[in-house]
Amino acid sequence: MTSSLSDKVIINVCPTGMIPRRVKVPNVPITPEEIAADVKRCRDAGASMVHLHARDDDEEPTWRPERFGEICDAVAAAVPDMIIVVTTSGRDWSELEKRAASIRIQGPARPEMASLTLGSMNFVTGPSVNSPEIIRGLIAEMHNNDVVPELEIFDTGMADYCSYLVEKEILKPPYYANILLGSRGTANLSAANIASILAGLPQSTTWALAGVGRYQLPANIAALSLGGHVRVGLEDNPYYSWAERSPATNGGLVERVSRIAREMGREPATPEEARLIIGLKPVDRSAVI
């Protein structure tokens, strides 16, 4: 029986991040070619969108638009229909000009979405500062470049701030939120925190749930149970099994959550279906194939 669009699940894969290094996470992709090949495996396994960070060949994170452009081009050539999302993270640099550089990529491989963290927080490795001025500046850059924010929510206050920005017409639809729980220094994964954050978001928000580290799989299952969507990948979680500390691959993590989703009656959405669910415009990347 064919499932309706409301039964489909969007799988958002975050393959690289800023923190994993091969000495501890051997399967993290670094070069544009490696990232594109990994995204292709994830697309074949059921992923419909990819959250991209850029690394130089020495594995160090970079904000340089040239490197982001190389990665977006490689991904679009390998998987033309994939929803491309770029990061605007401020963990390693704070200037608006650097954080917004990835948003300004043009051409057929330009990003459709970009991350927007709606508040400051502490990670284990240090702070991530997101001032109201930076948040508004990034929103303006996204609106000017026809890029939809990928709202990143780490606690209840960020969900409330999201609704405030919507009320003030600073944020405009469509609304897509990644709820990321389990990082020390932010909200833990719990039913109470999930309920509180969902209650704070605008009602029309399409939401996905991610768990950091050992909480990734429980968060994914909770999202599938509640009718939400999921984020998986080595950016958030280095292990396939935390009990055994067995190294994960991005493809393996996507394959597992796709299998669980199907067993729960939810078929992974194609990129075209994911665009319809979120409210994104169609894209044509025939020029990069």
The pLDDT score that the predictor gives to residue 1 is 37
pLDDT for the residue 281: 95
pLDDT tens sequence for the chain (289 residues)? 345 888 999 999 999 999 999 999 999 999 999 999 999 999 999 999 999 999 999 999 999 999 999 999 999 999 999 999 999 998 888 899 999 999 999 999 999 999 999 999 988 877 889 999 999 999 999 999 999 999 999 999 999 999 999 999 999 999 999 999 999 889 999 999 999 999 999 999 999 999 999 999 999 999 999 999 999 999 999 999 999 999 999 999 999 999 999 999 999 999 999 999 999 999 988 877 6
Can you give the pLDDT at residue 289? Answer: 65
Residue type at 277? I
Domain of 224, in residue numbers: 5-288
**How many domains are there within the chain?**
1
CATH number for the domain that contains residue 120: 3.20.20.70
